[in-house]
Structure 1
Amino acid sequence: MSDLLAARSQMAMSLAFHIVFAALGIAMPALMAVAEWRWMRTGDARFLTLAQRWSKGTAILFAVGAVSGTVLSFELGLLWPSFMERAGPLVGPLFALEGFAFFTEAIFLGIYLYGWSRISPRAHFSAGLIVAASGILSAVFVVAANAWMNAPTGFELEHGRFTRVDPWAPFRHPVAWNQIVHMLLAAFAATGFLVAGIHAFLLLRRPDRFFHREALQTALLIGGLPALLQPISGDLIAKSVAVHQPAKLAAMEALFHTEAGAPFVLGGLPDEDRRTVRYGLFIPGGLSVLLHYDPQAVVPGLDAVPREDWPPVAVVHLAFQLMVACGLVLAALAAWSGWHWIRGRSLASDRWLLRGLVAAAPLGFVAIEAGWVVTEVGRQPWIIDHVVRTADAVTPMPGLWLPMTTFTLLYLVLSAVVVWAIHRHVAATDRRTLEPMHEAAA
């Protein structure tokens, strides 16, 4: 294994692991806040129980996310020193702001966890809102940095060095806000449906449990609307990619040849050598319509890009197809749940819906992982699009397979610990008598 491949593999594994906890850290505080708000509004202590249970699960996930996020911050400097040297003046302030948001989130999460009986309900609820806002801001700063790597702006390049740097330029670029909105919607949808799937599973076993019925309703409230909005966000981000990263868009759609009336491909296996797509379903003019609202519009293909600048087409195309498929399933389930809500029917009464929610519980995170594959692999061979190649940014330190192996074992252990801890927490919650809790949470 080459050092470049080892470094890329380690970074990919670290990002794939951390993004799960980052997404949960964005949306879980919102779930806690909604449950606590319902308790404050109704006085029903069972909603207090719900907020307390979710806060304990959030604490477990936050702790592991903090570890994996710290690892990522070190890897940026250790594995990609040339990237940090050149891009530091632009992405450095964004990472510093993300660190500030993270510490704010950690402080107020501590207040939230241990302040149930120590501060007033209003102050406690406010702490939960600050935790939620800090998690969202963390995502905004990190995704803005990634968006800048996809569409670099705010500098001049002189003799290979960045000059006249504008550190706020990433926030003024439309790519950043398209990507930020897409990621936030994905985090809320994925977390909402994961939590809904857990409580739907428990409702299939015990349909009379108030706790699980209300938890399911709250989770779908948090995840359902973002799932319905995500296809609109996806359309906007695809149009943005077509303008700023045409090679990535061509790889996403496996479009090898520039053509008017470009087809939209469903499924299929791209063959880069023959420049064809096998087993795909082609919708004539579909891609031109989606991008330009014109069935005869010209869409640049990969033939407009030098062969050495192609991303891995099969990986990007299949990941894109997987992301879209998962997103459409979640949107359909959100619409199904909304139909029940409009008709005033209990979600727990539809056992087929509950089974669908259980089956779809992990799909939001599958879509997030696939989406980040599209984002990162689709930018290759550039670490900063058309400015710095990934091969030129990797550290010259040899033997990178060793830290890659070490961190792989670390993530496997952390994954096992998280699964064990969350399983025990959910099982303990389900075993307890789910009557109103009057004692303070530990």
Structure 2
Amino acid sequence: MFMTDLLYARAQMGLSLAFHIVFAAAGVALPVLMVLSDWKARRTGDSDYRKLSQKLAKGTAILFAVGAVSGTVLSFELGLLWPEFMGQYGEVIGLPFSLEGVAFFTEAIFLGIYLYGRERVSPGLHLFSGVMVAVSGAASAFFVTLVNVFMNDPSGFVATPHGPTDIEPLKAMFSPGWLTQTSHVLLSCYQASAFAMAGIHASVLLRHPGSAFHRKALSVALPLACVTALLQPVVGDLSAKHVAKAQPVKLAAMEGQFETERGAPLRLGGLPDVETGTVSHALDIPNGLSILAFGDPNAEVKGLNEFPRDTWPPVAKVHVAFQVMVGTGSAMALLALVTLAYRWRRKAWPSGRKMMWAWLVSGPLGLVALEAGWLVTEWGRQPWIVRGVMRTADAVTPVPHLAAPFWTFTVVYVFLGVVVVALLKRQVADTLPDREPKGPDVKGGEAHVH
């Protein structure tokens, strides 16, 4: 299929974001897991927790380095691929970009102290540096998300044919919906990373059920994974309620709602057809969308046909991505409930084969939900780069031949991805036992983590 320079620019930005978001999420969450392991090591004197904190610190450093590279590429791409957007709105939304830079350098400084100061600074200062890495990583993601919130729900300026005037940077920085959206993103970072970590250690425990190190590592990952999996649907619901009021065309695309109606059904699955205005193979829950969006079974939900056709996002893509996000999120929440029930009843984290298989299979779901959620946000905003104010087509660079940088960066990202996977595999391989230990708490392949 022939691609225009606009599509290549969008594809390159999408590829860069899809690649970077994995490392950004890890940069937010791994320091928290690292600090928890370090704190447990200091409290118990257990060498396994100390080893785990060291491994997590090395993993954080690897992912931080690659995230810094991909994040820098994204910064350049904003200016090079979308010069009209940055030229007109850089002044409006420049404050969170600047603060994100401060958070990034703060994270780098304290990560250096944590990595190389373990035996060189006091234990308190060393642990504090780890906490600051976690706080700075979260702050970095927070400020970047504020930019995205602005692009979806702009405020803090007056739009004119010649560009924005009467600029209020703080109002632009905290555009409507900032609290729920930033909370949703931060939770997704913690959830994706904790599920990935749990999946990795579950896979090792399936082969080595007596490994004390991996049982303890699982005991660090599972609480964060379970808590975030249960909080995320609540925050996601609040975020969706804001979208229903502020961005009704996006909600209509997410739900495949073509006609305006009261008592709108909630559609599970299905594939929208924009030509016929129908959603095939969907399971409809009567009044479900009206209840979830507005808390009223008879509330009116605006359909896509209420809006000009040239302002519709790609309906099928948005709907499918939204279904993937909700489906994976629901599966993780269900597993979290089962795991916490087991923990409450047995007073121990589960490590039996069935539960380990469940966590192994669920390990990638957090990242799948994270990527799908960002696709919903970005596709759902189209055809606008700043919703209702500037179209994506009007913001793109006039420089031709954008296929060349797209394919170049695709190769670079594939290479970086292979290198990162190899490095992380080595970190995990170093923790594998030479032989499966047998002890009193390993019975029939069932081990318990206290």
2:256·2:319 contact (CA, 8 Å) conserved in 1?
yes
Give the Cα–Cα distance (whole angstroms) in 1 for the partners of residues 162 and 329 of structure 2: 41
1:347·1:353 contact (CA, 8 Å) conserved in 2?
no
1:312·1:378 contact (CA, 8 Å) conserved in 2?
yes
2:118·2:126 contact (CA, 8 Å) conserved in 1?
yes
Query: In the alignment, which residue of structure 2 is the partner of 1:416?
Result: 418
1:326·1:367 contact (CA, 8 Å) conserved in 2?
yes
Query: In the alignment, which residue of structure 1 is the partner of 2:273?
Result: 271
Q: 1:349 to 1:413 in 2, by over 3 A?
A: closer
The within-5 A match list for 1:286-301 is 286-301=288-303
Give the Cα–Cα distance (whole angstroms) in 2 for the partners of residues 62 and 117 of structure 1: 22
Query: In the alignment, which residue of structure 1 is the partner of 2:441?
Result: none
Of residues 219-228 and 269-278 in structure 1, the stretch that sits farther from structure 2 once superposed is 219-228
Query: In the alignment, which residue of structure 2 is the partner of 1:254?
Result: 256
1:203·1:348 contact (CA, 8 Å) conserved in 2?
no
Extract unaligned runs of 5+ from structure 2.
438-450
Give the Cα–Cα distance (whole angstroms) in 2 for the partners of residues 158 and 372 of structure 1: 29
Query: In the alignment, which residue of structure 2 is the partner of 1:41?
Result: 43
Query: In the alignment, which residue of structure 2 is the partner of 1:387?
Result: 389
Extract unaligned runs of 5+ from structure 1.
436-442
1:253·1:265 contact (CA, 8 Å) conserved in 2?
yes
Counterpart among 225, 231, 234 of residue 232 in structure 1: 234
Query: In the alignment, which residue of structure 2 is the partner of 1:154?
Result: 156
Counterpart among 201, 223, 226 of residue 225 in structure 2: 223
Give the Cα–Cα distance (whole angstroms) in 2 for the partners of residues 344 and 135 of structure 1: 35
The within-5 A match list for 1:370-381 is 370-381=372-383
Query: In the alignment, which residue of structure 1 is the partner of 2:445?
Result: none
Give the Cα–Cα distance (whole angstroms) in 2 for the partners of residues 432 and 365 of structure 1: 31
Query: In the alignment, which residue of structure 2 is the partner of 1:74?
Result: 76
Of residues 314-323 and 90-99 in structure 1, the stretch that sits farther from structure 2 once superposed is 90-99
Query: In the alignment, which residue of structure 2 is the partner of 1:93?
Result: 95
RMSD: 1.4
Q: CA deviation at 1:205?
A: 1.2
Q: CA deviation at 1:176?
A: 1.2
Runs of 4+ in 1 over 6 A off after TM superposition: 432-435
Alpha-carbon displacement from aligned partner over 1:6-58 (angstroms, at most 9, x marks no partner): 00000000000000000010000000000111111122222111101111111
Instruction: Report whether the alignment pairs 1:135 with 2:137.
Output: yes
**Residue 149 of structure 1: SS of its match in structure 2?**
helix
Q: CA deviation at 1:206?
A: 1.3
What residue identity is the alignment partner of 1:140?
F
1:147·1:170 contact (CA, 8 Å) conserved in 2?
no
Of residues 169-178 and 30-39 in structure 1, the stretch that sits farther from structure 2 once superposed is 169-178
Query: In the alignment, which residue of structure 1 is the partner of 2:127?
Result: 125
Give the Cα–Cα distance (whole angstroms) in 2 for the partners of residues 359 and 301 of structure 1: 37
Query: In the alignment, which residue of structure 1 is the partner of 2:309?
Result: 307
Give the Cα–Cα distance (whole angstroms) in 2 for the partners of residues 399 and 150 of structure 1: 29
What residue identity is the alignment partner of 1:284?
P
Give the Cα–Cα distance (whole angstroms) in 1 for the partners of residues 119 and 145 of structure 2: 37
1:213·1:348 contact (CA, 8 Å) conserved in 2?
no
Counterpart among 427, 434, 445 of residue 425 in structure 1: 427
Q: 1:429 to 1:170 in 2, by over 3 A?
A: farther
Q: How much identity, in percent, do the aligned residues show?
A: 54
TM-score (norm 1): 0.96
Q: CA deviation at 1:299?
A: 0.3
**Residue 240 of structure 1: SS of its match in structure 2?**
helix
Q: CA deviation at 1:433?
A: 9.6
Q: CA deviation at 1:389?
A: 0.1
